Amino acid sequence: MNRSTLLADAARLLAEAGVASPRVDAELLLAHVTGRTRSGLLTLDAVDEPAARRFAVLVDQRVDRVPLQHLTGRAAFRHLELAVGPGVFVPRPETEQLVEWALARLAGVPEPVVVDLGTGSGAIALSLAHEHPGARVTAVERDPDAIEWTRVNAAARAAAGDRPVEVVAGDMTDPRLLRSLDGGVDLVVSNPPYVPDGARLPREVADHDPPLALWGGPDGLDVVRGLLGTAARLLRTGGALGIEHADQQGTALPALVRAHGGWDDVADHPDLAGRPRFTTARRAAA
Ligand code: GLN
């Protein structure tokens, strides 16, 4: 089968189904079935029959709005490729900026103690361990299905030579969580569930990301309220907090942190698209 025709037909089907980036998705799926990189497709003229059949099956699933990352089994996040699939939240590019901020806060601290609350695939925790080789990172996840993916990714990164991330099953709102770290943590970071109940989400998200990773109650901030207590208990004075939030929460979340008390330097930051995306604060002296 001719590569250009296959791609053009697939991209048309995907566009008709309302997929946001039909051409890119078609190329990534064809690259996946042929074992090539996306740019490697340029030197591929003919696609053999079995590969073309596998491609057609994946395109059909993508037309049904199965996330691209579930079809390839991989999600790119900063410098890492993480294993993902049903049961775990697919990491998003928006969150990469939160990692950038965290790395800047940890610069010059040789062995910072870091906690990622609600780690999912491990994207934030494993990126910090990879990009700050001295960091001692603990990754917390309460969803028993998601934590299987955390463990797979943590094991893969440790095998690749990164300092191992400790994976802990637990709820970020539990007052007994990580008691042994109380007052000794340099950075708490989280991409918690923050979608307000009733919000409309793309089918890829609503049907395939775990509900526990998304929904945050009437204003989306229920889990964040519990997280603030945990972060305040874990952080040392001067320690840093970074929490991702929805576009519309750029005022509400900083206000919540100020009202909670015990925090200085409360600030909000945009993502690469310029949308309000995460709130940061510094643990004040008790
Ligand atoms: N940004 C995600 C989405 O829009 C939501 C992530 C979250 O609740 N942490 O699908």
Q: Which residues line ligand 1 (CB under 6 A)?
A: 92, 191-195, 201, 205, 214
272 pLDDT tier (thresholds 50, 70, 90): confident
Active site residues: 89, 191-192
Dig out the tokens for 4 from the structure: 């250009």
**Structural domain harbouring 23:** 3-64
Query: Tens digit of pLDDT for each residue in 168-225?
Result: 999 999 999 999 999 999 999 999 999 999 999 999 999 999 999 999 999 999 999 9
Same domain, residue pair 30 and 81: no
Taking 80 as the threshold, does the pLDDT of residue 286 lie above it? no
pLDDT the model gives residue 45: 87
Same domain, residue pair 134 and 31: no
Helices (H), 160-221: 203-208, 211-214
Residue 192 Cα, ligand 1 centroid: separation in angstroms? Answer: 8
| Best CA proximity match to 239, nearest among 97, 137, 102, 96 | 102
Same domain, residue pair 122 and 40: no
Same domain, residue pair 60 and 81: no
CATH number of the domain encompassing residue 59: 1.10.8
| Best CA proximity match to 215, nearest among 201, 226, 227, 232 | 201
Same domain, residue pair 89 and 28: no
Same domain, residue pair 189 and 262: yes
Domain count, the chain: 2
| Best CA proximity match to 89, nearest among 196, 174, 206 | 206
What 3-state class would DSSP assign to 123? helix
Same domain, residue pair 260 and 226: yes
Pocket test for ligand 1, best of 84, 88, 190, 195 (most atoms within 8 A of CB): 195
Query: Tens digit of pLDDT for each residue in 122-166?
Result: 999 999 999 999 999 999 999 999 999 999 999 999 999 999 999
Cα Dmax for the chain: 69
| Best CA proximity match to 62, nearest among 209, 204, 202, 207 | 204
Same domain, residue pair 13 and 111: no
Same domain, residue pair 196 and 263: yes
Report if pTM > 0.80: yes
Residue 69 lies in a domain: no
Residue 220 lies in a domain: yes
Annotated binding site for S-adenosyl-L-methionine: 118-122, 141, 191
Residue 193 Cα, ligand 1 centroid: separation in angstroms? Answer: 7
Same domain, residue pair 14 and 91: no
Same domain, residue pair 35 and 168: no
Residue 201 Cα, ligand 1 centroid: separation in angstroms? Answer: 9
Pocket test for ligand 1, best of 124, 214, 244, 272 (most atoms within 8 A of CB): 214
